[in-house]
């Protein structure tokens, strides 16, 4: 991040309501973040239903990108189209895109849960082999499938393009990891261009076909022989069209430039609270400490910090602080565990 720009930092999974997290947060002792928050002004806390398809951090990022309300509907934020354009893959006429994540569904007695995709530790070679196998099946449904440029081992994702992905509500991957997938399956909404199109059914049929195809795939044979989880399904998220007149990032030179910092996410989703605390300490040392220094020096043009849970987003921004507030904060400095539990 440039020291001369104004920044809006969005941090998901700053807290969850699991018993393990509520216990771990009591051990959260950071030096720089509380001091930084004491120099910022709080904004009203925003609330969403925990069963919304889109997460609070996605809502916060879409707002920071200055997307209009039409692009901020639940389950219809066009993150895949935004990613495609950022990689120079935009088409002359904007079309619908979706983010496809190969994953492992764990079959239980009465439900199916999704393992965290990073638990697969999928290699680039495995990802490419699976992509080549699955691509013709996607093409039969009018979907063009391509690897996300710059994908790294353990974080393999693909981009799909096609009209089937327009007018389709899909749940964020962050909503589904570790949970019953049935509650989060894609659902049809009425698209202005095709109000009666049933788009969810073909996608669910494709998922069933891929489960049968992947069951005997050589990649999975090798993975299971090595004691690794097989890839037995995929998840689609971030579907929709990004209109041509929507810039990738705010173009106003005074606008806050948004950044999503996901250091806490994987540890929280895996409920590894020691790793979550370690990630907090890393953020404090490498992100909040430099920002606090720049804030004290007056070299940071503007700052907004948004901490998110699964239901709420709490923001603080740089604004003049009254002498009275400065006095109160000096006498009662921010206690981070209590603040997180109160606001998130």
Tell me the CB-side half-sphere exposure of residue 255, using CA atoms within 13 A.
Answer: 13
Q: Which residue from 270, 249, 178, 194 is spatially nearest to 7, judged by alpha carbons?
A: 249
- Residues 146, 89: contact at Cβ < 8 Å? yes
Tell me, yes or no, whether 197 lies in a domain.
yes
Residue 199 exposure: Cα atoms within 13 Å on the Cβ side: 27
84 and 185 in one domain?
yes
CA-to-CA distance for 137 and 115, rounded, in angstroms? 24
39 and 179 in a single domain? The answer is no
266 located within any domain: yes
- Is the domain of 75 the same as that of 59? no
Residue 282 CB neighbour total at 10 angstroms: 12
Could you give the count of Cα atoms lying within 13 Å of 121 in the half-sphere of its Cβ? Answer: 6
Query: Is residue 1, in this structure, part of any structural domain at all?
Result: no
Asked if the structure places residue 111 within a domain, the reply is: yes
Residues 53 and 141 in one domain: no
Q: Are 159 and 84 in contact (CB under 8 A)?
A: yes
Sheet strands (E) in 105-189: 105-107, 112-114, 144-147, 158-161, 168-169, 187-188
Which of 194, 209, 241 is the C-terminal boundary of a domain? 241
User: What angle separates helix 124-140 from helix 218-225, to the nearest 10 degrees?
Assistant: 150
Which residue, 241, 271, 288, sits at the end of a domain? 241
* Residues 114 and 189 occupy one common structural domain: yes
Grouping H, G, I as helix, E, B as strand and the rest as coil, residue 136 is: helix
Please tell me whether residues 224 and 287 are part of one structural domain: no
Residue 20 structural domain: 7-66+250-343
- As beta bridge partners, residue 286 has none
CB 335 within 8 A of CB 39: no
> Both 49 and 108 in a single domain?
no
144 within domain boundaries: yes
**Number of domains forming the structure of the chain:** 2
d(CA 31, CA 224): 45
Q: How far is Cα 235 from Cα 178, in angstroms, rounded to an integer?
A: 13
User: Which of 204, 219, 241 is the C-terminal boundary of a domain?
Assistant: 241
Whether 119 and 21 map to the same domain: the answer is no
Residues 40 and 102 in one domain: no
Based on the fold, state whether residues 30 and 137 are members of the same structural domain. no
Q: Kindly state whether residue 2 falls inside one of the protein's structural domains.
A: no
Instruction: Judge if 134 and 38 occupy the same domain.
Output: no
Distance of CA 57 to the CA centre of its chain: 7
Report the candidate in 291, 331, 319 with the shortest Cα–Cα distance to residue 7. Answer: 291
Per-residue pLDDT of the chain in tens (344 residues, 90 and over written 9): 554 568 999 999 999 999 999 999 999 999 999 999 998 999 999 999 999 999 999 999 999 999 999 999 999 999 999 999 999 997 788 999 999 999 999 988 888 999 999 899 999 999 999 999 999 999 999 999 999 988 888 889 999 999 999 989 999 999 999 899 988 988 755 444 443 346 788 888 999 999 999 999 999 999 999 999 999 999 999 999 999 999 999 988 788 999 999 999 999 999 999 999 999 999 999 999 999 999 889 888 899 999 999 999 999 999 866 666 666 666 566 799 999 999 99
Q: Does residue 169 form part of some domain?
A: yes
Do 109 and 192 lie in one domain? The reply is: yes
């Amino acid at each position: 991040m440039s020291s001369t720009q104004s920044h809006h930092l969005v941090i998901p999974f700053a807290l969850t309501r699991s018993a393990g997290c509520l216990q771990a947060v009591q051990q959260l002792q950071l030096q720089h973040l509380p001091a930084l928050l004491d120099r910022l002004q709080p904004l009203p806390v925003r609330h969403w239903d925990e069963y919304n398809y889109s997460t609070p951090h996605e809502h916060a990022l879409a707002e920071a990108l200055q997307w209009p309300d039409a692009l901020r509907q639940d389950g219809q934020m066009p993150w895949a189209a935004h990613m495609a354009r950022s990689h120079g893959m935009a088409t002359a006429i904007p079309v619908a895109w979706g983010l496809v994540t190969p994953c492992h569904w764990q079959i239980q007695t009465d439900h199916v849960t999704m393992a965290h995709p990073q638990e697969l530790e999928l290699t680039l070679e495995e990802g490419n082999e699976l992509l080549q196998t699955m691509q013709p099946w996607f093409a039969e449904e009018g979907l063009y499938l391509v690897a996300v440029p710059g994908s790294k081992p353990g974080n393999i994702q693909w981009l799909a393009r096609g009209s089937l992905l327009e007018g389709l509500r899909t749940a964020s991957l962050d909503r589904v990891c570790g949970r019953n997938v049935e509650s989060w399956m894609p659902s049809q909404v009425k698209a202005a261009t095709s109000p009666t199109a049933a788009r969810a059914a073909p996608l669910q049929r494709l998922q069933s076909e891929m489960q049968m195809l992947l069951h005997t795939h050589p990649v999975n044979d090798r993975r299971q022989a090595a004691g690794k989880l097989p890839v037995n399904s995929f998840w689609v998220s971030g579907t929709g069209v990004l209109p041509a007149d929507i810039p990738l990032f705010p173009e106003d030179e005074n606008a806050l430039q948004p950044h999503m910092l996901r250091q806490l996410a994987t540890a929280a989703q895996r409920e590894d609270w020691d790793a979550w605390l370690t990630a907090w300490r890393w953020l404090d040392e490498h992100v909040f400490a430099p920002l606090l220094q720049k804030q004290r020096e007056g070299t940071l043009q503007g700052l907004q910090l948004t901490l998110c849970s699964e239901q709420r987003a709490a923001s603080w921004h740089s604004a003049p602080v009254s002498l009275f507030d400065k006095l109160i904060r000096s006498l009662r400095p921010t206690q981070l565990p209590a603040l997180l539990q109160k606001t998130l």
